[in-house]
Structure 1
Amino acid sequence: MSEKQLTNPTPSSIDNSLHINRIRVGVLGFGGLGEAAARLLTPKQEMIWVAAADKKGYAYDPNGLNCDRAITTYKSQGSLGYLEPTGTLSNQAISDLIEKAKTSVDGYFLALPNLPNTFMASVARQFIASGWRGVLVDALKRTSAVEQLLTLKDELQGAGITYMTGCGATPGLLTAAAALAAQSYAEIHTVKITFGVGIANWEAYRATIREDIAHLPGYDVEKATQMSDAEVEALLNRTNGILALENMEHADDVMLELAGICDRDRVTVGGVVDTRNPQKPLSTNVQITGRTFEGKISTHTFTLGDETSMAANVCGPAFGYLKAGVSLHRRGIYGLFTAAEVMPQFVR
Structure 2
Amino acid sequence: MIVDKITNPLKVGVLGFGGLGQAAARILSCKGEMVWVGAADQQGYAYNSSGLDVQAAIATYSAHGSLGYLPEDGTLSQTSIKDLTNYAACDGYFLALPNLPNTFMADVARQFIQSGWQGVLVDALKRTSAVEQLLELQTQLQEAGITYVTGCGATPGLLTAAAAVAAQSYVEIHSVKITFGVGIANWEAYRATIREDIAHLPGYDVETAKAMSDKEVEALLAQTNGILALENMEHADDIMLELAGICSRDRVTVGGVVDTRNPKKPLSTNVQITGRTFEGKISTHTFTLGDETSMAANVCGPAFGYLKAGMALHRRGLFGLFTAAEIMPQFVK
AA aligned to 1:66 is D
Q: Deviations over 1:216-265 (max 9, x none)?
A: 01111111011000000000000000000000000000000000000000
- 2:206 pairs with one of 210, 221, 233: 221
How far the C-alpha of 1:43 sits from its partner, in A, is 1.8
Structure 1 counterpart of 2:56: 69
AA aligned to 1:151 is E
1:70-85 alignment, distance < 5 Å: 70-85=57-72
Structure 1 counterpart of 2:23: 36
Secondary structure of the structure 2 residue equivalent to 1:37: helix
Runs (4 or more) in structure 1 with deviation over 4 Å come to none
How far the C-alpha of 1:113 sits from its partner, in A, is 0.2
- 2:295 pairs with one of 287, 307, 310: 310
Structure 2 counterpart of 1:59: 46
Secondary structure of the structure 2 residue equivalent to 1:189: strand
The whole-number CA distance in structure 1 between the counterparts of 2:177 and 2:268 is 13
Unaligned runs of 5+ in 1: 1-16
1:227-266 alignment, distance < 5 Å: 227-266=212-251
Q: Deviations over 1:170-203 (max 9, x none)?
A: 0000000000000000000000000000000000
The whole-number CA distance in structure 2 between the counterparts of 1:322 and 1:286 is 23
Structure 1 counterpart of 2:164: 179
- 1:47 pairs with one of 34, 50, 61: 34
- 1:93 equivalent in alignment to 2:118: no
1:190-339 alignment, distance < 5 Å: 190-339=175-324
Secondary structure of the structure 2 residue equivalent to 1:24: strand
AA aligned to 1:263 is S
The whole-number CA distance in structure 2 between the counterparts of 1:276 and 1:125 is 37
Q: Deviations over 1:289-348 (max 9, x none)?
A: 000011000000000000000000000000000000001101111000000000000000
The whole-number CA distance in structure 1 between the counterparts of 2:109 and 2:241 is 22
Secondary structure of the structure 2 residue equivalent to 1:127: helix
The whole-number CA distance in structure 1 between the counterparts of 2:297 and 2:30 is 14
The whole-number CA distance in structure 1 between the counterparts of 2:58 and 2:138 is 34
The percentage of aligned residue pairs carrying the same residue is 80
How far the C-alpha of 1:84 sits from its partner, in A, is 1.1
Structure 2 counterpart of 1:113: 98
The whole-number CA distance in structure 2 between the counterparts of 1:199 and 1:94 is 28
AA aligned to 2:126 is K
AA aligned to 1:205 is Y
AA aligned to 2:74 is G
The whole-number CA distance in structure 1 between the counterparts of 2:282 and 2:331 is 33
- 1:165 equivalent in alignment to 2:150: yes
The whole-number CA distance in structure 2 between the counterparts of 1:347 and 1:148 is 29
Q: Deviations over 1:117-152 (max 9, x none)?
A: 000000000000000000000000000000000000
How far the C-alpha of 1:89 sits from its partner, in A, is 0.4
| Structure having the higher Rg | 1
The whole-number CA distance in structure 2 between the counterparts of 1:78 and 1:216 is 29
The whole-number CA distance in structure 2 between the counterparts of 1:77 and 1:259 is 44
The whole-number CA distance in structure 1 between the counterparts of 2:143 and 2:278 is 41
The whole-number CA distance in structure 1 between the counterparts of 2:30 and 2:242 is 36
- 1:27 equivalent in alignment to 2:27: no
Secondary structure of the structure 1 residue equivalent to 2:274: strand
Secondary structure of the structure 2 residue equivalent to 1:43: coil
Q: CA RMSD in A?
A: 0.7
- 1:154 equivalent in alignment to 2:128: no
Unaligned runs of 5+ in 2: none
AA aligned to 2:321 is L
> TM-score scaled to structure 1, two decimals?
0.94
- 1:189 pairs with one of 155, 158, 174: 174
